[in-house]
Amino acid sequence: MKNGVWKLLLVILVVLVIVFGTIFIIDTNRMKNNKPVLFSTWGKKYNAPAASADKMNVVLSLEDKIADDTVWCGTFNLIWNDLKNELAKKDIEFTPQLDVVRNLNKGTFNTECLSEDSYYKVYGKPTIELKKQIEKEIKRKFNETSDILDDFNWNESGDKDYYFLYSMLKKEFEFPKVFDRLENGKFKDWENVKYFGIKKKTSEKVREQVKVLYYNSKEDFAIKLLTKSNDEVIISRGNKANTFGKIYAEIKENNENFKGSKNIEEDEIVKIPNIDFKLKKEFNEIEAKPFLFASGEEYVIEKAVQTIEFSLDEKGGRVKSEAGMTNKTTALLPDLEPREFLVNDTFCIFLKEKDKELPYFAAKISDITQVQIVEN
């Protein structure tokens, strides 16, 4: 009898070793190939890859016209404001003038739209000392390193004909309660897309952290996700306007006119796709075009770069964005049926601070593979 028990235990042990060994090998190989693990990182420090977002468009202002799969973050606006107000001391004017520059000159987004602990900005001569100062400050303030500083030229003395402008925005937020992780499903024609949200029997505590801004149909609505911090996540579908500024104003107006329930009821569902992407963009369209400072000196933008990283899942989200630039001289009605807040087609997302008038991040997403690695 004892021998039989020991043999059984030995067989079980061998099976477990084979199973866990196989799982370990699978995950190790996936990490080596920069793919998401299926089971565990096995104690190894590993960041799952983000979608490359290589086809995402980036706009520089809330007033710029947008298409599907477009993103905006306010870091570039912060350095443009310093270029215009502190260095040039006048509007930046190209010949012929560009709409994108005209919109940047409006200064719609500025430091008043952000809490001071969420951003860092500086400008000066591009010296090694300034680079070290930036690296030190973003490490101290955000525990971050830069993805763009090495793209620019630095020297010991700083060329007297150059200026460098820099900003970083960093936000991390958690939801008060973790949302349900939902079954993978469809987004437009894409299969196996990861979702989180609220099911019909999700707890009231989780439901309370979602507020309905308005609801006209399951293709036309907006909701707000509350966080532990002063950040709010606004997600909408059905918007027709062609700029983020107009879409955001439309959401606010619809919310003010909405008379239906602002709460997610027990028989209603919310379905939001996971998002995780990073991108880097150089704005060639505004480079190498002469403009004048108020002093009469002529300058050009030699290089203008921005990075944007954004992730969102059932636990919370994270935004990190950098912008850098060198300049040199030249010579509705409520629905009676249970509502479905299904974010499974083209949608917009905005991030803002509770007491601020404007968002600091916006995206319009139509191609889910740009913001989530979808495995078929």
Helix, strand, coil percentages for the chain (3-state, nearest 5):
25, 35, 40
Percentage of the chain modeled with pLDDT above 90: 76
Percent of the chain with pLDDT over 70: 83
Asked whether residue 68 carries a pLDDT value surpassing 60, the answer given is: yes
Query: What pLDDT is recorded for position 46?
Result: 41
Answer whether residue 117 shows pLDDT above 90: yes
Query: Cα separation of 10 and 348, whole Å?
Result: 56
Measuring CA to CA, which residue among 77, 132, 145 is closest to residue 320? 145
Q: Which residues pair with 231 in a beta bridge?
A: 353
Query: What is the reported pLDDT for 36?
Result: 56
CA-to-CA distance for 306 and 136, rounded, in angstroms? 20
Residues 324-341 have pLDDT tens digits of 999 888 754 444 578 999
pLDDT at res. 329: 82
CATH placement of domain 54-376: 2.30.39.10
Give the start-to-end residue ranges of the domains of the chain: 1-49, 54-376
Q: Which residue has the higher pLDDT, 231 or 50?
A: 231
- Mean per-residue pLDDT over the chain, rounded: 88
pLDDT confidence tier of residue 34, bands split at 50, 70 and 90: very low
Two tokens, residue 317: 């989200």
Task: Say what the pTM is.
Answer: 0.84
Structure-token pair, residue 192: 């196996």
